Amino acid sequence: MTRRIKLDKIDRRILSDLQENGRMTNVELAQRAGISAPPCLRRVRALEESGYIKSYHAHLNAPLMGFAVTVFANVGLSSQSESDLKRFEELVASWPEVRECHMMAGETDFLLKVVAADWDAYQAFLTNKLTAAPGVAQVKSALAIRVSKYAPGVPVEQE
């Protein structure tokens, strides 16, 4: 894998545009970047190969898919040994309702973003999976009321 050291303004424009709309055609992307289509496609491939672009995905409507509840669960483990942390991460990776898992510094060991059909479904997940998991000492749940901002990715500075 080759790593580009410095992104130029065209690369940054491509990254910004693709992050906003991953379905943009190469022709439209090239026009917005001010270059022709073939070099644009080469740049996109190079950005993918160098790891700047990790994947493409569709943002699904959770309530329409049957997931009306989002909960952020702060999880404390009884041990913070590397093997126990990894074991917990591997278990969490197998739970489809956990959409994000972040190891934290401070009072909480992990912050999980969990989706569920309703509060009862989350309670079942909490009781049957999360608090029953080996090494889980405490869980504090926070129910999300609404999303006022959703901006996946990172800010891409335009030079």
Is 75 found in the same domain as 137?
Answer: yes
pLDDT digits (tens, 9 = 90+) for 111-142: 999 999 999 999 999 999 999 999 999 999 99
Number of domains, the chain: 2
Within 10 angstroms of residue 128's Cβ, the number of other Cβ atoms is 10
Burial class from Cβ neighbours inside 10 Å (0-12, 13-18, 19+) for residue 47 reads: middle
Q: Which CATH number covers residue 21?
A: 1.10.10.10
Please indicate, yes or no, whether residues 136 and 101 belong to a single structural domain of this protein: yes
Whether residues 73 and 114 share a domain: the answer is yes
pLDDT digits (tens, 9 = 90+) for 67-109: 999 999 999 999 999 999 999 999 999 999 999 999 999 999 9
The answer on 44 and 92 residing in a single domain is: no
Torsion sign, CA atoms 104, 107, 109, 115:
negative
Average pLDDT, the chain: 95
CATH number of the CATH domain containing 118: 3.30.70.920
For 19, the domain range is 9-49
Q: Are residues 73 and 16 in the same domain?
A: no
The reply to whether 2 falls in a domain is: no
